[in-house]
Amino acid sequence: MKLRTHTFVSLVLFALVAAASSSGCTVLLHDDKQQCTTDADCTKRGAAFARSICSVTDNVCVDSDIAGCTSNEKCTASNNGAPSICKKPGGPCVPVFTAECNTLIPHDAKMRDNAVLFAFTGLKSGSEAEAQKISYNIIEMGVNELNRSLVGLPGGPNNVPRPVIGLECDESQAEGEGEYDRLRRSYKHIIDDLGIQAIISNSYSTSVVNVVEPELTRPAGVFLMPNLSFSPLISTLDDNGLVWRSSSPTTVQAPAQAALVPIVEAKLRAGTNPPQGDIKVALLTSTGVVFSSSGDTVLNEIRFNNGKDAAQNKAQGNFQRFNHTSSNDDQNVDLAPTANDIAQFKPNIIVATNKGQDLWEAVEPRPKGIGPAVERLWTETRYRPFYIISPPSIERATAYLNTITDSVRREDLRQRIVAVDQSPPNATTYSNFIINYQAIYKNPKEDPVASGLNNYAVEYDGIYTMIYAMFAAAQKNPTLTGKSIAEGISRLTSGDPFYVGQTDTPQVKQRLASGQNVNLQGVYSLLDFDMSSGDSPTETSVVCLEKSTSAATGLEWKFSSMTWDRTQRTFPGGATASCLK
């Protein structure tokens, strides 16, 4: 269980980073909290201040003869306009950009004095880069909206709002380097060089659990939000209350996946070529906690052939679990033996909880994913397998189908795939978010709906929650820390309801500034956090891969009306999804 020193009713995980003001510098002491905003304010103080200048980082008068920096703006100017900060007046200027961290949000942001930084790390190169571009876009969209509607955070000199600026960093493995070398460089620059206090991370779950949290962020007291890392191990980190996510682990969706098996069985039995006697089910899992733990949950809850469990069906030769090494653990893993074993088993249904690339990777002329291989090796003429897939496989299923040029074969496979996924609690609010996103980002490859990456919207919930929490924390103390940001989130869990998004920002700002609380609602997350795990529950629904005339690919994942009831552990109303009728 997590050790939490504060009680919060609700929390959203975004990685925000505040560049902390420092007082450990050589200054001309005075009783005033704020001595100056300009150099002239210092010289007016008398002979003792004749050679002083104003350090706008701390708003104190500094001896002009000292070596080192006095402001972010002067540091940036001395670095030929490249963003730089004065982390400690009298110390060296610190460049914001490195080879790994080289983009600001907003892109045209100026490194003004008293700007508040947050960091966002992800896989900006390699196979995941195209998908993660959607996440970057969503965060950029949220920051731009908030800089317009919220204007900035309290605590600036003369009550001038402080702008919020994001720094994007790459943590993907560089060619010829160790797995975590670039990741460590990015985080050490963010934390050690820049003093950033909170980070939103798109790291793999294994990276978060093994390196990022225990080695880098926890010892520094930095607030971490791994919103797109879905391992259940993150829920149990001993993180001093600093790790939160606006999402839930994949194990939350696994019971719904298991519950679909008897529903699909009924569909097959009602079809034109129904199974004769019992059906066979294959459970496809892999190494890695995200995938294997979801498989364990399915294994415990799966029921078919008149309600028999996995063990009973296995004893009769009707169930088998196939586990393979994930490509996360071995990039050169040979998946062909697993595909061959499944094809020989001849299951009516394949329940897959493994990695999307391992299931559907399309590398022509011979796709290496297990699904394409099973389809190629299949010899049973009476039926072909029906796939019940999990969130990690949704995007890759679309990509694979788009490689099939035979329209008949493509349509046949499309009708044999169904998925469960996190789903928005309010369809109208989510639709408005998508409309706004698509108006800004027009590249079809960066469309979360067409790509099957609807759940990336948790990043939008996260950025709003984080910056509102920063606003609330800055009202109390302008110097933000990971701990104070977490405390600020407690202001967002009760009171009148308001949705994330710029429409409600003026009301949220007014309430927080006057000391009132708000009950923040997400476009994709319920923002109703589990205080022992730091997770935010999400709804789970059945999604169907539909033909579409509007999507560039001709295919689009669409949410059905089948929403999983977490309390009753069932789909109320039965099989209403179009792909299950």
The candidate with the shortest Cα–Cα distance to 103, out of 147, 193, 169, 163, is 169
DSSP state of 91: S
Separation of alpha carbons 79 and 64, rounded Å = 19
pLDDT digits (tens, 9 = 90+) for 364-388: 444 479 999 999 999 999 999 999 9
What are residue 201's phi and psi, to 5 degrees?
A: -120, 135
In order of 18, 38, 94, 152, 309, the CA distances from 74 in angstroms are 20, 13, 11, 21, 69
Percent of the chain scored above 90 by pLDDT? 58
* pLDDT average, residue stretch 440-458: 88
The pLDDT of residue 65 is 54
pTM of the model: 0.81
The pLDDT of residue 24 is 32
10, 526 Cβ separation under 8 angstroms: no
The pLDDT of residue 482 is 96
| Four-residue CA torsion sign, 364, 123, 81, 151 | positive
User: What counts of helices (H) and strands (E) characterise the chain?
Assistant: 18, 18
Cis ω before 537 (30° cut-off from 0): no
490, 8 Cβ separation under 8 angstroms: yes
pLDDT band at 268 (very low <50, low <70, confident <90, very high): very high
Structure tokens at 61: 């008068």
Q: What is the DSSP string of 226-280?
A: -TT---GGGGG---TT-B-BSS--GGGTHHHHHHHHHHHHHHHHTSSS--SS---
Beta bridge partners of 541: 421, 563
Instruction: Name residues whose C-beta falls within 8 Å of residue 448's C-beta, 6 or more positions apart in sequence.
Output: 134, 138, 434, 437, 454, 456, 457
3-state class (DSSP) for residue 547: strand
Instruction: Name residues whose C-beta falls within 8 Å of residue 498's C-beta, 6 or more positions apart in sequence.
Output: 504, 507, 508, 511, 518, 519, 520, 521
pLDDT digits (tens, 9 = 90+) for 379-431: 999 999 999 998 878 888 888 888 888 999 999 999 999 999 988 998 899 99
| Helical residues (DSSP H) of 361-418, grouped into ranges | 370-377, 391-401, 407-414
Torsion of CA 293, 294, 300, 304, to 10 degrees: -150
In order of 28, 41, 104, 194, the CA distances from 66 in angstroms are 11, 18, 31, 21
- Residue 145's Cα: distance from chain center in Å? 19
Which position has the token pair 């204007």? 151
Separation of alpha carbons 557 and 419, rounded Å = 9
Is pLDDT above 60 for 257?
Answer: yes
What are residue 273's phi and psi, to 5 degrees?
A: -130, 70
Separation of alpha carbons 60 and 27, rounded Å = 7
What b/e string do you get for 281-320 counting C-beta neighbours within 10 Å, with b at 16 or more? bbbbbbbbbbbbbbbbbbbebbbbbeebebeebeeeebbb
pLDDT digits (tens, 9 = 90+) for 50-98: 767 777 556 777 766 555 888 999 999 999 999 999 998 888 999 999 9
549, 570 Cβ separation under 8 angstroms: no
Of 84-98, 100-114, 414-428, 442-456, the range with the lowest mean pLDDT is: 442-456
Helix (H) or strand (E) holding 508: helix 505-513
Burial class (CB in 10 A: 0-12, 13-18, 19+), 323: middle
Is pLDDT above 80 for 143?
Answer: yes
The pLDDT of residue 31 is 40
The pLDDT of residue 58 is 66
Report the chain's C-alpha Rg in angstroms. Answer: 26
The candidate with the shortest Cα–Cα distance to 201, out of 452, 454, 13, 357, is 13
Is pLDDT larger for residue 47 or for residue 336?
A: 336
The candidate with the shortest Cα–Cα distance to 430, out of 451, 450, 455, 447, is 455
Separation of alpha carbons 86 and 520, rounded Å = 35
The candidate with the shortest Cα–Cα distance to 305, out of 295, 320, 315, 318, is 318
pLDDT digits (tens, 9 = 90+) for 521-538: 999 999 988 877 888 888
Which position has the token pair 């999402």? 247
Helix (H) or strand (E) holding 559: strand 555-563
